[in-house]
Amino acid sequence: MLKVMAVFGTRPEAIKMAPLIKELEKYRGEIECRVTVTAQHREMLDQVLELFGIEPAHDLNIMRQGQNLFDITGRTLYGLRRVLETELPDLVLVHGDTTTTFVAALASFYLQIPVGHVEAGLRTFNKHSPFPEEINRHLTGVLADLNFAPTARARENLLSEGVKSASVFVTGNTVIDALLAVVRPGYRFADPVLNQIDYDNSRVILVTTHRRENLGGPMREIYRALREVTEACPCAEVVFPVHKNPAVRSVVEEELGGLKKVHLIEPMDYQPFVNLVGRSYLVLSDSGGIQEEAPSLGKPVLVLRDTTERPEAVEAGTVKLVGTARNAVAGETMKLLSDQKHYEKMAAAVNPYGDGRAAQRIVRAIRFWSGLSPEKPADFLPAKKHR
C-alpha cells in the first residue's frame, strides 16, 4: 500500500487539491490517502473542505489574527514534524506557493520523505513579487522529487533551473477540474444581494484583493479607481467579496464603504464565487487562481499586479496586467466597459490551463513513479482558442 499525505492550509490550495484527493480515493486498494491541514486559513479553508467532503486526519489549526510569516513558518514546521514522524508517508503532496507549501516540503525533506509538488514551475523571476510566493514556489521546487507542471511553459522553467526532466510531468491545472465540477447554468445564490443584481443589463465588475505587496497604498489606489469607475459609468456595479485580513478590510471600508453601486460582501464560498465569475462582465483581481478560472469562463481579467507567474492567458489576450496605479486601473476598466470590440477580443474563452483531467494525470504519474503502473501519463496539451 502506498501511503500518500496531502498537506495544505489556505483556501486556494484546498480548491486545487480537492480534485486530486478525490482521484486518489478511487485507488483505495493500492493507495492510502491521508490529509493534513495546517489551517493557515480557518473559515475560508473549512468552507472548501465541506464542499468537497474532505475530512482531514490532522488539523494543526495554526491560524491567528494578524499572523506574520514567522508565525506561520514556525507553527507549521513544528506541527508537521509531529504528524510526519507519526504517519511516515511514502509521499507528501503539496500545492503551489504558500508558506504552508514551502514549509511542508522542508519538513518532509528533513525526514527524508519524497515530495510531490502540484502546480510546479510557475515563475515571475522577481523575488519580491509576488512576495513571498515566488520564493516559496522556487524553494519547494528545489526540494521536490516529483514536479507536476500545469503547462509546458512551467516545465521549461523547471528544466532551465536544472530540475531533472524525468521528475517533471505536464498535467494541466487541477483548478479546471474543480471548476468543471461546480459551475452550473442557472445557479441560484444563497445571498439575496447576488440574486437581485441585474446581470443582463448592468456591467458587473467582480473584484478581489489580498496580496501582501498590495496592502496599504496600492490597495487604496485600486479602490479609488473603482470609486471613479462607478461614478463615471452608470451601468457599472461592483461586487467585492472582501478578504478576511483586517489589513485589507480597514482600507476597503474607508474608500468604498456606503457606496450605492458597490456591494461589499463576505468572502464567498467557492461554488457561488465561480458561478458569480460566470455571470460577471469582467474581473479585477490580484489573485493567481482567478487568472486561470476566468479565461475558461470567457471573462476578461485585469490583474492588479505588476508581474504574473501565469503568462499563458496574457499571451492568449484574455488577461491583462494593469498594476495598481489609480489611472491605469480606472482607464483600463472604463475601456472594457465602453469599447465593445476591445471587450469581445478579451472575452474569447481559452483554456491554456487545463482540460479537467489534471488530477487523473497526476495520479497516473504517482502510480508510475512508485512502480504501481508501468504506464507514463501523456502530457497535457491545451486546445486551440475558441469562441
> Hey, which residues are catalytic here?
97, 119, 133, 210, 212, 243
The least CB distance from residue 137 to ligand UD1, in Å, is: 9
Find where cell 476578461 sits.
300
Helix (H) or strand (E) holding 7: strand 2-8
List strands edge to edge, sheet with 31-37. 58-59, 31-37, 2-8, 91-95, 115-118, 146-149, 168-170
**Whole-angstrom distance, CA of residue 51 vs CA of residue 44:** 11
Q: Residue type at 124?
A: T
In the complex with ligand UD1, the residue whose CB is nearer, 67 or 307, is 67
CB-nearer residue toward ligand UD1: 97 or 355:
97
- Alpha-carbon distances of 248 from 63, 134, 204, 228, rounded to whole Å: 17, 21, 22, 20
Question: Closest distance between ligand UD1 and the C-beta of residue 40, in Å?
Answer: 5
Residue list 110-169, contact with ligand UD1 (CB under 6 A)? 132-133
Region 245-304 residues binding ligand UD1, contact defined as CB under 6 A: 245-246
d(CA 365, CA 235): 49
What is the smallest separation between the CB atom of 16 and ligand UD1, expressed in angstroms?
A: 11
- The binding track of 55-94 with respect to ligand UD1, each residue x by CB under 6 A or -, is ----------xxx----x----------------------
Q: What separation in angstroms does the CA of 119 have from each of 146, 157, 373?
A: 11, 12, 23
Contacts with 259 (C-beta within 8 Å, 6 or more apart), sequence order: 227, 230
Q: How far apart, in whole angstroms, are the C-alpha atoms of residue 78 and residue 167?
A: 28
5, 8, 10, 227: which one contacts ligand UD1 (CB under 6 A)?
10
Q: Which is nearer to ligand UD1, 134 or 312 (CB)?
A: 134
Quick one: which of 2, 5, 12, 169 contacts ligand UD1 (CB under 6 A)? 12
95: β partners? 118
User: Minimum distance from CB of 381 to ligand UD1 (Å)?
Assistant: 28
* Residue 226-245 contact track with ligand UD1, rule CB under 6 A, x = bound: ------------------xx
Cα–Cα distance measured from residue 375 to residue 57, given in angstroms and rounded to the nearest whole number: 30
11 binds ligand UD1 (CB under 6 A): yes
Residues within the interface to ligand UD1 (CB under 6 A): 10-12, 40-44, 65-67, 72, 97-99, 132-133, 210, 244-246
